[in-house]
Structure 1
Amino acid sequence: MSQTTESPMKKISLEKVVLNMGVGKSGDVIEIASRALEQISGKKPSARNAKETQRDWGVRKGEPIGVAVTIRGDDAKALLKRLLEAKGNTVNGRAFDNFGNYSFGIREHIDIPGVKYEPSIGILGLGISVTLTRPGYGIRTRSKHKASVGKSHIITSQEAKDYLVKEFGVTVA
């Protein structure tokens, strides 16, 4: 095997893109955020409930305080291209963790290409988390004989940055 050939097990791919809107209270605001996420992703979002009661904020345990949607496959790639375009095809270098995942936010959802302003929704911000994977990562989540991924197989932040530059043509600042 020559030195220029890379192992197919080292090939990085996009696992999922998670869009999240935490609104902090239940009621009509959750419905509005849900419609906004559905407009962006084309998928039905799920409600995220409060883990504990916060009396000062008027939030009870189990009450929906946010919405999120997970996109996988080719839809995730297409959506991520649109989301990165809304950020000017620039990603902050500090947004990457030690496992190749990265997150960023968009202040106004109407900046995303293909999303039109609706007065009934208004303008909302959202958080985006992107998870990258390699072949062999399934050993972490399988039901029998779970194992950890070896140190040499974990996606580093530099490898994730290189993947983004190569696949999506973004600049890492």
Structure 2
Amino acid sequence: MSQDMRGIRLDKAVINIGVGDAGERLMKAEKVLKMVTGRKPVRTVAKTTNRDLGIREGMQIGCKVTLRSKDAEEFVRKALDIREKRIPQWSFDPEGNFSFGVQDYTDFPGMKYDPEIGIFGFDVCVSISRPGRRVKTRKVMKRSIPKGHRVTKAEGQEFARSKFSAEVVD
């Protein structure tokens, strides 16, 4: 008997640049995400006011792109190649999702340094799940997912090793 519902799959990859202020730097960050992913980024807004940083609630302070299916898989492979396929163990959360940072967009193949843009790094957040996760998030007849069907940290690490040939380091 095959267990198709037990298989783990890549749900999405979110690429995020947090600039911290609106204006010219945010426009440059959007250009970087557009060049790297080929998709138009969405702006992110501040949830709370922080006077020390000069941020007000509702202020646009960053941008992100969400990739799914094959696009997400290809992008994560490229990003992990830049990081020499190494993911720190502390990058995994209890649900098996993991995230890592890329220091400079020029490390991607085919990207050249643009003096107008400058140097920008970004975060890559990878979400994984099993089939049937929609039961938890759907609008009608929501149900909780049993503990045995949830993805664990160890399973997430094994998924990263098998799917992306990544090395999980301490």
Which residue does 1:111 correspond to in 2? 107
The whole-number CA distance in structure 1 between the counterparts of 2:164 and 2:49 is 41
Does 1:90 pair with 2:86? yes
Runs (5+) with no aligned partner, structure 2: none
| CA shift digits 1:12-54 (9 cap, x unpaired) | 1101000111010100111000000111111100101112222
Q: Which of 128, 138, 141 is the matching residue for 1:132?
A: 128
Work out the percentage of aligned pairs sharing the same amino acid: 37
Which residue does 1:10 correspond to in 2? 6
Closer/same/farther in 2, CA of residues 10 and 94 from structure 1, 3 Å limit: same
TM-score by length of 1: 0.93
The alpha carbon displacement at 1:111 in A equals 1.7
The alpha carbon displacement at 1:129 in A equals 0.6
TM-score by length of 2: 0.94
**Shift >4 Å, 4+ stretches:** none
Amino acid at match of 2:108: I
Which residue does 1:69 correspond to in 2? 65
Runs (5+) with no aligned partner, structure 1: none
Which residue does 1:58 correspond to in 2? 54
**What is the root-mean-square deviation of aligned Cα atoms in Å?**
1.2
For residue 84 of structure 1, give the secondary structure of its aligned residue in structure 2.
helix
Does 1:35 pair with 2:28? no
The whole-number CA distance in structure 1 between the counterparts of 2:35 and 2:114 is 10
| CA shift digits 1:61-81 (9 cap, x unpaired) | 211001111000110001010
Closer/same/farther in 2, CA of residues 114 and 13 from structure 1, 3 Å limit: farther
Paired residues of 1:17 and 1:76 also in contact (CA < 8 A)? yes
Amino acid at match of 1:12: I
Closer/same/farther in 2, CA of residues 10 and 114 from structure 1, 3 Å limit: farther
Residue correspondences, number:
169
The whole-number CA distance in structure 2 between the counterparts of 1:161 and 1:44 is 30
The whole-number CA distance in structure 2 between the counterparts of 1:163 and 1:143 is 29
The alpha carbon displacement at 1:147 in A equals 1.3
